[in-house]
């Protein structure tokens, strides 16, 4: 459930006990990118959704709660706005996703619809994963992607140009420097997995947020509870998309989260009897096991989602992503040889 939240069966007892019911929730966010760079940051220990308000010009924007943020722009060194006088971080216009945004927009957590219902009191996070897919024309696939994990919440509002006063959010270049691992944006779906932190075991309601958007200070700050517990964010950053005037390049983000939720007293549902499975939480033990078995260069928190891709798909990826890049090490050359041998009969039948 921690290593593969997108596909795992849910089993009770990961926190040592069970106080509620298990559920897996999903949501998808798609947009046509006309900007060459951007990032998505998700704090899955929270389950909130923004309040949707309307300004004097009829433009909708995020409200006072946030734990899932997306920012897009052409300038990788531009810090999203967190200005108390205009647009604080998280209050970007979500209708402009993929365009040059003044600041990040806030989106609903995949668990928020469930927690907004009358039957749910609160929930805690077992595991979460985010998938990033480029679904544009294969031969136009370009740019870089970096996987983000274990990003402290305070870092989101602590960019390279932070000064006294309102915190300055991170830009795309900040995140690339911090990540330390970068890959070429190809035709594969990329998957980033959340490393559960201590705050994930806390039951939270829908109205609790990681960041208070447009707090009493006028700009976005960490919420009081989040500042005390310091939950981690994860996600992706990208730059260098091949964008030509008039072109639209679809990008798809998929969010999956496993939760344990407790029924609200007014729901009419019977409260699940608490059950103890282990004397202590098994989360740290599970993460330790996953860390010990990982090989150099192969982190369980980041991977290709489509590991079982067909031979034809792999050959297409090699052809369009660049054979020279693929054959930079012995393992890649062996992989290329294997693809060629397997595809030879297919090629003969096409002649």
Domains detected in the chain = 17-305 (2.60.120), 308-351 (no CATH)
Q: How far apart are the C-alpha atoms of 192 and 302, rounded to whole Å?
A: 5
Residue by residue, DSSP assigns 202-214 as S-B-TT--SEETT
Please check whether residue 167 is in contact with residue 157, taking contact to mean a CB–CB distance below 8 angstroms.
yes
Q: Which contacts qualify for 285-288: CB closer than 8 Å, 24 or more apart?
A: 286/2, 286/3, 286/14, 287/2, 287/195, 287/196
Please list the pLDDT of the chain residue by residue as tens digits (351 residues).
788 878 888 887 788 778 888 999 999 998 888 899 999 999 999 999 886 554 444 444 445 688 999 999 999 999 999 887 678 899 888 888 899 999 999 999 999 999 998 899 999 999 999 999 987 777 677 889 999 999 999 899 886 555 556 678 999 999 999 997 888 887 789 999 999 887 888 999 988 899 988 766 678 888 888 888 889 999 999 999 887 655 667 889 999 999 999 998 887 777 777 777 777 777 878 888 888 877 666 788 888 876 544 444 455 555 544 433 443 444 444 544 444 444 444 444 344
For residue 3, the model assigns a pLDDT of 81
For residue 330, the model assigns a pLDDT of 45
Looking at the DSSP bridge assignments, the partners of residue 143 are none
Phi, psi of 92 (to 5 degrees): -70, 155
Torsion of the alpha carbons at 37, 111, 8 and 200, rounded to the nearest 10: 90
The pTM (predicted TM-score) of the whole model is 0.82
Q: What angle do CA 146, 147, 151 make, to 5 degrees?
A: 115
């Amino acid at each position: 459930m921690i290593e593969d939240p997108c596909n795992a069966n849910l089993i009770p007892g990961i926190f040592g006990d069970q106080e509620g019911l298990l559920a897996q929730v999903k949501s998808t966010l798609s947009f046509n990118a006309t900007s060459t760079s951007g990032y998505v940051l998700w704090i899955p220990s929270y389950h909130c959704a923004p309040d949707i308000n309307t300004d004097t010009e009829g433009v909708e924007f995020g409200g006072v709660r946030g734990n899932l943020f997306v920012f897009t722009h052409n300038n990788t060194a531009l810090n999203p706005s967190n200005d108390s006088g205009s647009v604080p971080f998280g209050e970007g216009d979500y209708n402009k996703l993929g365009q040059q945004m003044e600041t990040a927009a806030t989106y609903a957590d995949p668990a928020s619809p469930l927690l907004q219902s009358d039957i749910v009191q609160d929930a805690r996070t077992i595991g979460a994963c985010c998938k990033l897919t480029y679904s544009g024309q294969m031969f136009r696939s370009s740019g870089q992607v970096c996987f983000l994990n274990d990003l402290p919440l305070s870092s989101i509002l602590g960019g390279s140009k932070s000064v006294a006063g309102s915190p300055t959010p991170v830009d795309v270049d900040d995140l690339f420097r911090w990540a330390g691992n970068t890959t070429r944006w190809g035709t594969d779906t990329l998957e980033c997995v959340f490393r559960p932190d201590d705050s994930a075991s806390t039951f939270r309601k829908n109205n609790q947020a990681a960041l208070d958007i447009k707090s009493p200070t006028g700009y976005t700050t960490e919420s009081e509870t989040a500042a005390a517990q310091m939950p981690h964010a994860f996600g992706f950053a990208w730059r260098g998309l091949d964008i030509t005037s008039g072109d639209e390049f679809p990008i798809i983000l998929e969010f999956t989260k496993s939760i344990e939720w407790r029924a609200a007293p007014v729901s009419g549902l019977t409260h699940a009897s608490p059950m103890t499975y282990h004397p202590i939480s098994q989360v740290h033990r599970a993460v330790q096991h996953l860390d010990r078995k990982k090989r150099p260069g192969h982190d369980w928190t980041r991977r290709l989602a489509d590991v079982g891709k067909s031979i034809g798909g792999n050959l297409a990826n090699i052809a369009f992503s660049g054979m020279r890049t693929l054959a930079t090490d012995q393992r890649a050359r062996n992989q290329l040889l294997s693809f060629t041998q397997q595809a030879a009969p297919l090629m003969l039948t096409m002649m």
